[in-house]
Structure 1
């Protein structure tokens, strides 16, 4: 299978964008996770021939707008992934999580129709196998206790994305308190 590979700059590091001939995003990974990208492409598509091209303007423009603060800019991008039925269901559900919000693995599992609390483990594994960073926002899924838990591209990136989307307060920001005289 032939796919197209581009390098895209981001505030979180250089990214590798893989699209098909119709400019549908098949993978978006960080360059420092290049081996993960190639492993995922082989796993989902078999023998893939990558041809390097300049990144398509529409996709770069949407990513740039997102990083500039227009958080819904990525909604227009088309994605398509191969994977198990559960993975594809989870990845589709991730695209429906609104910006500036988070959900938990358990709530995501319930939203997909699973009643068994252990299903959150399978949903978490599918979430972690997401091949399309940022556009398919797996970073918006956190643990039930509010912890960030894992992120395939590093917790520092997950935190940055959630802070950027205002889904969590910046780490350096202390809670604001007003001191009244005499108290």
Structure 2
């Protein structure tokens, strides 16, 4: 399979974009996770030929708008993913989670028609295997207790994305307490 690899910068670090010849996004990863990107491409597509090219204008513009504050800008981007049926269902469902909101693994499992609470584990695994960062918003799925659990690209990025989307409140730094002599 012939795919196109592009490099771009983001507020969260350098990113690697993989598109097909129709400019559908096949993968979007952070450059510091390059091995994950290549492993995923092999798992999903087998032998892949990557040609380097500029980021397609539509994708570059949408990502720039998103990172600039136009949070719905990614909704129109076309994605195409391979993977098992459950993974593709989960990834499609992730794109339906509105900007500025979060859901839980359990709620996502129920939305996909699973009644068994243990299905949340399979949903979490599919979520974690998402090959398209940011555009397929797996960062919007959190633990049932509200904690930010698991994000393939680092919890610091998950927190930043959710704060950027105003889905969670930005963490305030802890105030420093001055110690007075004798205390």
Structure-2-length-normalised TM-score: 0.94
Give the deviation of 1:99 after TM superposition: 0.1
- Alignment partners' CA distance in 1, 2:96 and 2:105: 14
Partner of 2:45: 45
> In 2, distance between residues paired with 1:173 and 1:131?
32
Deviations 1:44-83 (A, max 9, x none): 0000010000111110000000001100000010001000
1:73-152 matches, cutoff 5 A: 73-152=73-152
After superposition, what is the alpha-carbon deviation per residue over 1:78-102, rounded to whole angstroms, capped at 9, x for unaligned? 0010000000000000000000000
How far, CA to CA, are the matches of 1:14 and 1:59 in structure 2? 15
The size of the alignment, in residue pairs, is 174
Q: 5 Å matches for 1:60-75? A: 60-75=60-75
TM-score normalized with structure 1 length: 0.94
Point out where structure 2 has 5 or more consecutive residues left out of the alignment.
175-183
* Residue in 1 that maps onto 2:36: 36
Measure the CA separation in 2 of the matches of 1:156 and 1:48. Answer: 31
Aligned-partner SS, 1:37: helix
Shift of 1:8: 1.0
Q: What SS does the aligned partner of 2:73 have?
A: helix
> Which blocks of at least 5 consecutive residues in structure 1 are unaligned?
175-183
Once residues 49 and 99 of structure 1 are traced to their aligned partners in structure 2, the CA distance between those partners, rounded to angstroms, is 34
